[in-house]
Chain A
Amino acid sequence: MADTILSVRDLSTRFFTEEGQVNAVESVSFDVEDGEIFGIVGESGSGKSVTALSVIDLIESPGRVTQGEIWYRNADLAEEFRGSKPEAVDGDLVDIRRLPKGVRRSLRGPSFSMVFQDPMSSFNPSITVGEQIAEAVEVQRRARSNPRSTRSRTQGYGLGSLLVDSLLPSKSYVDDESMDRAVELLDQVGIPDPEDRAEEYPHQFSGGMLQRAMIAQALAGEPDILIADEPTTALDVTIQAQILNLLRDLQEQEGMSILMITHDLGVIARMCDRVGVMYAGEVVERGPLADIFDNPVHPYTQGLLGSIPDVDDPSGRLEPISGNVPSLLDSEMPDACYFADRCPKAMTDCLTRIPEYELDGRHSVRCVLAEQEYDPADAVDSADAADAVDREVNADD
């Protein structure tokens, strides 16, 4: 078995909004192994992006990671903190949540890097693409020599926002060497005529080309883990195919791991070795691709697979999941399985919080069906449960 590069344990993230507390991520655990592509799949609002942002320490007010550990394998860091912060070190692993803020920040780029869904809003429109990538190169270089690092003009945009709280040392910030490296990176991600394209502005790029550029920017720090949040959702299917090929090639060339976030089960199937399925902020099922697609245990996973029309086989009616994606407001979260109001197999045993059950070493599920057969005699009418919730919600408007 490959070594684990990232191990997320029991992670919870909350947003404290005017409407109340939003439980965006709830006790999420998963591992990412060396050189693998781990996928997180789920519908909108299920907490995929917030999970990614929590890992990379980019949750901003009113949000906060409220519990959990994020173990990252890095022998140098482990050595550095073994004496001063023994609780944050376990062998070669460090719990990055317990490291000082400055150190955590210095990990963005060389350790973790991120590619976002919308390339257009991830670049600063008034700086050339080449400069923005060169800047990422520069920041990484400086970060390496001085972890207290620098401020970037691309901050607030995509990867630039990973580099906040840095100092801009001088105006001629991007030197020739960084610019050359930027051109090299653009070439590596398949941008034709990279020398010229480096001097163009984001609006001169097509969506697919800009997504390539963002990947180039994310590669600038030679990250151990690339987090790709819906990297192809905004793209057409023929361009998506190009970008997925590119990500796989880069993953093999660079030997990095990828945390791939998508709502598209097809993308998961093509790209990922292992998968976590998210629903209402929880990872409800997790395991190798074949376990999730061929032997799903959680009724939500089954429902999701039953909802997708098959491009190779039109026969049959779709089997949708009834009802709607739930609200994540703490005050509306039931003390029951979060899926109970839509689940065709809900039983009385489901009306309590459900732990994560291990099916075997690699396949786990948050559902009582892991341990018991569905018993119709014990069924709770999910429609009734849903109505009850509905009535409760409507009562206050």
Chain B
Amino acid sequence: MTEPLLAVRDLQKYYFEQDSFVDSLLGRDPTSVKAVDGISFEVERGETLGLVGESGCGKSTTGETLLRLREATGGAVTFDGANVFEMDDDELKAFRRDAQIVFQDPFSSLDPRMTVGDIVAEPLKIHGIPESADGESKREWRRDKVADLLERVGLSANHLDRYPHEFSGGQRQRIGIARALALEPDFIVLDEPVSALDVSVQAQVLNLLDDLQSEFGLTYLFIAHDLSVVRHICDRVAVMYLGNVVELGPTDELFESPKHPYTKALLESVPRPSTAEHGRRVEALSGDVPSPRNPPSGCRFRTRCPQVIPPDDLDIEQGTYRSVMDLRDALAVGDVNPDHIWDAADPDRADTEAFIEEARARHVDAELRGEVAGVVDTALGHLAEGEADRAGETLRERFESPCETRRPAVGEAPHPAACHLYEGSDEVTVIETNAGAAAEADD
């Protein structure tokens, strides 16, 4: 196999907050936002790799960091065999010609005071292109080049002397694409290039990107949150969640047989524009994406995962286990207030039974039986006595999941998923109704 054009290894980008003088005087550690936390992928020559995930999962940070537009916290990026983070000025300059970026917002990414011609010509000027032009001035050479570029992206040479505000969103995005093409790059990071566009115009730009790729043999990293667009344009897809890549595979395979529970949930959630969609009720993921300031231990998806793995020796229905884990998470983030439970159950704060019943009604979305009910009630009893920590500890002792103690990684398989249901092997099949058995198969 030929060497990939771009290889990203264990890339990390942390943003630091609360990094003030006072903080350092007080010896406080700056809080880090782990925007990108150890991700790896490769982009082959001529392919489009999609990077998909919800807002704040680190997609754009990944694109900007690998282009060295932001300083990486850790990891390495290799472009065409060279380590991007160790390039000297000359190498970096060459890299900046070969690797371009197109941004999401066609309204703010173009300088309103420059003409379209100057905007598209700017990278040429910066890079001193052309070095010489025979028979015409360099300026004329650039003008011709820009006219040609504008026509390639479906605009007209007449647009050269106009200003960005005279163009629609789709046209501005074409201008941004023409600018990115000016230096004849090999590689373009497309950061949500069609998200701001209306669907009819979005389709025009997607077709244009397709055509340009075949015409110039371009390699794309296509960042998007819209799964339909990703399915349409990408050869392979990496799914991100909270700073991690959770699944990576060929597009059709990933869409037709998704492995990671998050990928499954994403695909399940997308509303399909067809009559068969009517009234479809999606098993929505519970809760919100946790903050990257304080990401969950182990698997970052475990606070929402419908398949979170129970301990081996616990006999419990998957749905019930999810509810118990939700209770634990709610306790951990302070979403369970015993005062309110007492107010509703027994203002005199005597009847612990009533407290437990009220707490279950409010915070446990499942019927509990047997051992599970026993442990939960014991924990809620502690909560009734004001011992929230002990309640949490009681639940942890019995219900702790391997998903919270071990961080799954994407392996080397052709279609890896960072999930303990698949660890070590691509072959382990998910047993949906009995995650305990699946965990056993792992060992």
Contacts and interface: CB of A to CB of B under 8 A. Distances in A.
Interface string B251-276: 11001000000000111111111110
> What bracket does the count of chain B residues touching chain A fall in?
35 or more
Interface stretch (B65-73, B329-337, B367-375): B329-337
B232 interface: yes
A267 B271 contact: yes
Contacts of B304: 238
Interface in A230-271: 236-242, 244-245, 248, 263-270
B198 A266 contact: no
B206 A270 contact: no
Nearest to B281: A245
Interface stretch (B20-28, B123-131, B222-230): B222-230
B275 A266 contact: no
Nearest to B158: A394
Given A238-B266, A242-B284, A314-B251, A324 B228 contact: no
A156 interface: no
A383 to B, nearest CB: 13
A16 interface: no
A308 interface: yes
Contacts of A196: 335, 337, 340
Interface in A253-305: 263-270, 272, 289-290, 293-294, 303-305
B337 A193 contact: yes
B405 interface: no
A101 interface: no
Given A43-B199, A269-B273, A314-B232, A320 B282 contact: no
B363 to A, nearest CB: 8
A76 interface: no
Contact of B272 (A192, A263, A312): A312
Contact of A44 (B198, B228, B255): B198
Nearest to B154: A322
A309 B231 contact: yes
Contacts, number: 152
Interface in B231-263: 231-233, 251-252, 255
A264 B335 CA distance: 34
Given A237-B225, A245-B282, A318 B337 contact: no
B183 interface: no
Of listed B206, B255, B282, residue having the most chain A CB within 10 A:
B282
A378 B275 CA distance: 34
B199 A304 contact: yes
B207 A193 contact: no
Interface residues of A, number: 52
Nearest to B53: A236
A208 B288 contact: yes
Contacts of B231: 309-312, 314
B336 A238 contact: no
Nearest to B343: A195
A319 interface: yes
Interface in B280-294: 280-282, 284-286, 288-289
A131 B337 CA distance: 20
A270 B201 contact: no
A269 B201 contact: no
Given A236-B225, A320-B207, A195 B281 contact: no
A220 to B, nearest CB: 21
A317 interface: yes
Contacts of B137: none
Nearest to A397: B166
Nearest to B285: A238
A308 B201 contact: no
Interface in A198-251: 206, 208-209, 236-242, 244-245, 248
B288 A318 contact: no
Contact of B274 (A193, A245, A293): A293
Given A307-B202, A325-B168, A193 B335 contact: yes
Given A270-B279, A311-B270, A236 B337 contact: no
A1 to B, nearest CB: 19
A212 B391 CA distance: 29
B277 A269 contact: yes
16 contacts: A238-B265, A238-B266, A263-B199, A265-B273, A266-B277, A267-B271, A269-B271, A269-B273, A272-B278, A289-B275, A289-B278, A293-B274, A314-B252, A318-B207, A324-B168, A325-B198
Interface of A: 43-44, 192-193, 195-196, 206, 208-209, 236-242, 244-245, 248, 263-270, 272, 289-290, 293-294, 303-312, 314, 317-322, 324-325, 397
Given A264-B271, A293-B273, 17 more contacts: A44-B198, A195-B340, A237-B54, A242-B284, A242-B285, A244-B271, A266-B277, A269-B273, A269-B278, A293-B275, A307-B200, A309-B232, A314-B231, A314-B251, A319-B203, A320-B204, A324-B168
Interface of B: 54-55, 166, 168, 170-171, 198-204, 206-207, 210, 225, 227-229, 231-233, 251-252, 255, 265-275, 277-282, 284-286, 288-289, 304, 330, 335-337, 340, 363
Sorted from nearest, which 8 A-B pairs have the closest CB atoms? A266-B271, A320-B203, A309-B232, A265-B273, A236-B54, A43-B198, A269-B277, A307-B203
